[in-house]
Structure formats: C-alpha cells, structure tokens
Amino acid sequence: MRIESILSKNIDAMGDKAAYDAACKRLLANKVILAWIMKECLEEYRNCNIQEIVSRYIDGEPDIGQVPVNVDERLSGEQIRNVSVEDASVYEGTVTYDIRFCAEAPGTENRIQLIINIEAQNDFYPGYPIIKRGIYYCSRMISSQYGTEFTSSHYENIKKVYSIWICMNPPQYRENTITEYYIAEKNLVGNVKEKIENYDLLTAIMICLGTTDDNSSGILKLLEVLLSTEREVEEKKKILQEDFAIEMTKTLESEVSTMCNLSKGVEEKGIEKGILFSIKSLMETMGWSAEQAMGGLKIPESERDKYITELKNEKL
C-alpha cells in the first residue's frame, strides 16, 4: 500500500513536470519566437527582419515531441529530413531533440539549408558540461544526414547544423550571456583560405538567461519574459506586444497562459515538498508531533490538514 502511494505521487510529479516541459517546447516552437532566436543568434539572419524569417526562411512546421528515427535501419522513402526529433541508434542509444527544423539561409544562390535544434535546459549542472552535449547533438545531426541529405561519398551535400541551448538557471557568472562555439580555420604553416562553407558545418550556442529590467532588450529579455515563473500572464503579453511587436494570436496567448499556470503548479508542489520535509525533520530530530512541528514552522491553520494527510499517506 505504501509503495503504491509513493509510486502514485512520483507519477503525479512526473506528469506535472512532463506537462510543463511540453508546454515550454510548444511555446519556443512558435515561428515568431524561433525567428527572434535566429535573428539575434545566427549570423545568417542578422540582416533579416522577423516577418521575413517567419514567412520566407523557416521551412515547414518545427517538429516537437517523440518521433523516433533509427539511423542504423534507414529505409528509402520512410523518412523526411525535418520530421525527426529523435535519432535512435542501436549502437549509441537514443538522442531526443526538443525542437528541430530546417531553414533556408538568405542570400544564397543554391538554396543552402540549415538544420536547427533548440533545447530548453533547466539544470546547468546535470553531471557533465552542457556544451559537450550541445556539440554531441550537432555531431549527431550531421551524421544522421547520411541517407537523406547525402549518400555514398557526396559529402558536399552535408547541411550546416546549429544546436541552441536556452539555459534557464545558469550560474551567476554566466547570466545574460550568449556564447557561440564553432569550427574555425587556423593556419599552422603557410597561409591558405578554404571556402568557409566547406568547414563551417556545426555551431553550438549557449543562451544563459538572467534577471532583466525595463531597460533590457533583445533575445535575452524576450526569453526571460517568455519563460519566467514569476511574471503574470498579462505582464508577459504586454511586454511581448509592446517591446517585441509579437502579435498575441489565440494559439500563442493560450500557450503563454498554459505555461504560466503549469510553472506555478510545479513551483507550488516544490514548495510543498520542502515544507513537508521540514515537518518530518522536526518530528524526527526534536521528537515533536506533527502539530508541534507545523506550529514551529508557523504554518497557517488552514493549510495544516493538507500536510497531515500527506504524512498519513506516506505511512500507508
């Protein structure tokens, strides 16, 4: 009975987190948001306006979700290059992309296309350097092009890839920074110049958010406002409309509202878990009753029944 209770709670918590993550991905996958990211972070689009990027350069609809693609068992005619958000390999495991889409590079005669991946990252220290994961994602997006973008030895058809990481809780020294990691040419002996398109094939970008104010601008402010767990819906809508000229369509407005509601729910559950832990700690270390522990923590009378119920469920 106790095991079932704990399992049920874990499933509920995972469900809330999964819903929040899904809402975050849907929000970031709006073309106008992608266009802002592309304009301010990718050199190919810095001279374009937002509407131009939305209407001319983003190819089709961005892909979000769990679409599996087995790169080791690729079958002719069964894959479309911009529909896979997972690369599955029997040798390398499964890589899941939050958002992935194709875009055309402006000002190119031969319709050069890029493959762009956007990742929302809440934990900056997951046990490994995030930038290494970003470079790995770039590498996988290049290697997975075999059989769709190029075959045999036609490496000239490899598309450039970007992996852009939006870090919501970076360390203080990285707050409000955007950093690019890419392949560059360096002459060790002699002086030669290779065409840049022959080696400039992958770039990882780290967007590290922080606190912004009324004087802030650009993509850092846009993403901070969009993903904030503290700003209210109406405040977000106002800033998006007035500062970034983003039309609040019914879809976008709904997604902003959903994101706010879910973020508050996740935050509240986190606070509740912390309070419950404190109650149990006082009961164990001080030998207090639940009522005494809640009194010591100054928990309002109106909220105490909720924690009593949680404590009873844990003992079942």
Residue 248: the pLDDT is 84
More confident residue, 277 or 22: 22
Q: Roughly how many angstroms between the first and final C-alpha of the chain, as a whole number?
A: 6
Q: What is the mean pLDDT of residues 58-64?
A: 87
Given the structure tokens 């590498």, which residue do they identify?
Answer: 139
Report the percentage of the chain scoring pLDDT > 90.
Answer: 34
The confidence band for 6, taking pLDDT boundaries of 50, 70 and 90, is very low
> Which band of pLDDT confidence, cut at 50, 70 and 90, is reported for residue 35?
very high
Residue type, 281: S
What percentage of the chain has pLDDT greater than the value 70? 77
pLDDT at 160 over 90: yes
pLDDT at 285 over 70: yes
Residue 72 pLDDT grade (very low, low, confident, very high; cuts 50, 70, 90): very low
Structure tokens at 278: 């404190």
Residues 130-140, mean pLDDT to the nearest whole number: 93
Which value, to the nearest 10 degrees, does the dihedral of the CA atoms of residues 130, 218, 60, 77 take? Answer: -20
Give the tens place of pLDDT for each residue, 161-196.
Answer: 999 999 988 888 999 999 999 999 999 999 999 999
Q: Is 284 helix (H, G, I), strand (E, B) or coil?
A: helix
Q: Where are the alpha helices (DSSP H) in the chain?
A: 2-28, 31-41, 50-52, 130-143, 218-227, 233-244, 250-286, 290-296, 301-315
Comparing CA positions, the residue from 171, 267, 160 lying closest to residue 210 is 171
* Whole-number pLDDT of residue 18: 67
DSSP 64-118: ES----BTTS--TTS--TT--SEEEETTTEEEE-SEEEEEEPTT-TT--EEEEEE
Name the pLDDT band for 85 (thresholds 50, 70, 90).
Answer: low
| Cα–Cα dist 149/142, whole Å | 10
CB burial string 228-254: b at 16+ within 10 A, e below: beebeeeebbebbeeebebeeeeebee
Residue holding tokens 């973008």? 149
CA 158 to chain centre: 25
* Band (87; pLDDT cuts 50, 70, 90): low
Which residue would you say has higher pLDDT here, 67 or 207?
207
State the pLDDT at residue 266: 53
User: If you average pLDDT over residues 46-74, what whole number do you get?
Assistant: 74
Both tokens of 216, joined, read 């802030």
Amino acid identity at 132: K
Tell me the pLDDT of the chain averaged across its residues. Answer: 79
SS3 117: strand
